[in-house]
Amino acid sequence: MTDPAQAQLDAYNARDIDAFMACYTPDVRIEDGEGTLIADGAAAVRERYMTIFTDYPQLHCQLRSRIRVGNYVLDEEHITGRGDQPLHVVAIYHIHDGLINHVRLVR
């Protein structure tokens, strides 16, 4: 079985929207650290990340650490190529039936 957290990271760095979306459920929800909805459903996620991949051709995410707890994967990420300063993000992925169905991005 493919690890969806790693597969989506690889696709993110390749800016491969189809491979990226293959890691998510149709009803995926992405929220910020406060729980505010960023994207609701695969169509919204696709639109958001297609724009990001297009607008930031130097985009790269370096995985600093990964913790797995049950159905959760917590990634500490260092993102460059998206503005003047690197972003420090903790992404919390919930895995359901082998795909990511919820993401919380803390920064």
Domain boundaries, the chain: 4-106
Q: What is the pTM of this model?
A: 0.94
pLDDT confidence of residue 2? 78
pLDDT at 1 over 60: no
Residue 30 contacts by C-beta under 8 Å, 6 or more apart in sequence? 37, 38, 39, 40, 45, 48, 102, 103, 104, 105
CATH of domain 4-106: 3.10.450.50
pLDDT mean across residues, the chain: 96
19-29 pLDDT tens trace: 999 999 999 99
